[in-house]
Amino acid sequence: MQKTEKILIISYYWPPAGGSGVQRWMHFSKYLSQFNFQPIILSVNPTYASYSSIDKTLENGVSNIESYKTFSLEPLKFYSLFKSNKGIPQSIIPKKTIFDIFLAFIRLNFFIPDARIGWNPFALKKALKIVRDQRIKYIITTGPPHSTHLIGLKVKQITGVKWLADFRDPWQEIFYLKNFFRFNYIKKLDLRLEKKVLSSANAIITTVGEKYHNILKNKILVNQNFFSIYNGYDKQEFDKVKSTRPDYFNIVFTGVLSENNNYEIFLKAIKTLDPIKNNLNIKFNLAGNIEKDIINSFSNFVKTKSAGYLSHNEAISFMKSSHLLVNFNYQGTNKPDMISGKLIEYLATGSPIINISHTNSESESLISLSEDSVTASQHDLDKIVSYISKRYINWFKGEFKEKIPNNIDEYSRLNLTKKLAIILSEI
């Protein structure tokens, strides 16, 4: 019988934190035991954490996993004191007011690589104790926040453990950095830290593939092992939720939607169709962190409603109520394509998807698994209008059919965890 190997996973985001970032390692941890790895979690005490959303329902799935949570100094906590909605920004850096811009300047130039670095000294001390007391041979760090990787770097330097660094999102190439001023020496320091992590880890995994890997390879002089593991869907959770679609044509979006996303071409398409004026039975339902100005813009032409943040099970039900799902990638074509945490969950619903991204993107390749889905660029107005019209007419005729891709199981959380276990056994 093969021996079970303990593995320490260092993740800032862990239940009760909500969002796709926490779900990635929550599900890996859920299934690792089936592949002879016993996960041990090190995270931040939620009392001191800067979480943008809370989903207590996620705690049910990790209650039997050994975990440790430590103190943290969180400068982002002070941000919420000055905001009316008391929100902690995640995936976006607000810049609507002079005060927002000032705080962004402080955040990006005085907290390197990010403002959650106040957790590091406390997490490092605890990580070293866990590694020594439990004779850990493997550790995993996951970022953002990429400051978490610096904990893994120190643990490896001190103990010699095997270390896998997970880049859920890019570090230097993250989309919002281009919109803010950073001192040159800060940029160089940040890049130096990233290079140190890339060079020192035993392997790097990302949620995207070769194009991004090539960018990372060109930053370092050593040969590094790069692997891609998408964010997947949990078949057990999906099978529990029944698909219930309303008596109107339901366009659905879930996730984060801000000015950084290329939603404007979709807005132009909706404006062209103008469902309100033309009495089309269409509604646009959104859930997640959605900017109010964007909701208001769509509301001028189509009945629009934002459900706000939903628990993950509620989000699955929300997606399964769709007749058309829409995904907005980030603006610009000179950055690596980003596969959102919900994209494979979209595919698992069996609803058609319109993916607004640049051509020849990795998300376009992924979307092609669905025969009724399409990718359009931010310039393809006619294509988007035609596609929505066709889907609406098919629905109006009663011809809507749920079509789940045949090979979707390849992207189940269980099979992706198997891939992770193989990587661990080879480093």
- Report, as an integer, the average pLDDT of 394-412: 95
- Does residue 160 share a domain with residue 57? yes
Residue with tokens 């904990």: 151
| Strand order through the sheet with 353-356 | 303-306, 282-290, 249-257, 324-328, 353-356, 374-376
- Report, as an integer, the average pLDDT of 231-258: 94
**pLDDT computed for residue 350 by the predictor:** 96
- Does residue 197 share a domain with residue 68? yes
Backbone angles phi, psi at 254, to 5 degrees: -130, 150
pLDDT > 90: what percent of the chain? 75
Q: How many CB atoms lie within 10 A of CB 252?
A: 23
- Does residue 277 share a domain with residue 213? no
**pLDDT computed for residue 84 by the predictor:** 45
- Based on the structure, what is the number of domains in the chain? 2
Backbone angles phi, psi at 5, to 5 degrees: -100, 130
Task: Name residue 354's beta-bridge partners.
Answer: 326, 374
Q: Tell whether 401 is covered by a domain.
A: no
**pLDDT computed for residue 255 by the predictor:** 92
- For the segment 247-301, what is each residue's pLDDT rounded down to a tens digit? 999 999 999 898 888 999 999 999 999 999 999 999 999 999 899 999 999 999 9
Q: Tell whether 406 is covered by a domain.
A: no
Q: Tell whether 49 is covered by a domain.
A: yes
Q: Interior CA angle at 286 toward 363 and 212, to 5°?
A: 20
> What is the helix (H) or strand (E) element at residue 40, kind and residue range?
strand 37-44
pLDDT > 70: what percent of the chain? 92
- Is 203 in a helix, a strand, or coil? strand
Q: How many CB atoms lie within 10 A of CB 157?
A: 11
Distance, in Å, from the CA atom of 111 to the CA atom of 227, rounded to the nearest integer, reads 29
- Does residue 339 share a domain with residue 250? yes
- Does residue 261 share a domain with residue 180? no
Q: Tell whether 402 is covered by a domain.
A: no
In whole numbers, what is the pLDDT of the chain averaged over residues?
A: 91
- Does residue 114 share a domain with residue 47? yes
- Does residue 245 share a domain with residue 226? no
- Does residue 226 share a domain with residue 246? no
User: Which of 110, 28, 132 lies closest to 418 in space, CA to CA?
Assistant: 28
pTM of the model: 0.92
Q: Tell whether 24 is covered by a domain.
A: yes
Burial of residue 125 (CB within 10 Å: 0-12, 13-18, 19+) is: exposed
Q: Tell whether 197 is covered by a domain.
A: yes
Burial of residue 160 (CB within 10 Å: 0-12, 13-18, 19+) is: exposed
- For the segment 151-194, what is each residue's pLDDT rounded down to a tens digit? 999 999 999 999 999 999 999 887 667 767 889 999 999 999 99
Confidence of residue 87 (pLDDT cuts 50, 70, 90): very low
- Does residue 200 share a domain with residue 59? yes
Distance, in Å, from the CA atom of 115 to the CA atom of 118, rounded to the nearest integer, reads 7
User: Which of 202, 226, 199 lies closest to 427 in space, CA to CA?
Assistant: 202
- Does residue 258 share a domain with residue 189? no
CATH number for the domain that contains residue 175 = 3.40.50.2000
Residues spanned by the domain of 244: 235-396
- Does residue 352 share a domain with residue 277? yes
Q: Tell whether 407 is covered by a domain.
A: no
Residue 30 in this model has a pLDDT that exceeds 70: yes
Residue 71 in this model has a pLDDT that exceeds 50: yes
Structure tokens at 114: 């990010």
- Does residue 110 share a domain with residue 43? yes
> Where does 144-261 show beta strands of DSSP type E?
162-167, 203-206, 226-228, 249-257
Q: Tell whether 405 is covered by a domain.
A: no
- For the segment 342-387, what is each residue's pLDDT rounded down to a tens digit? 999 999 999 999 999 987 788 899 999 999 999 999 899 999 999 9
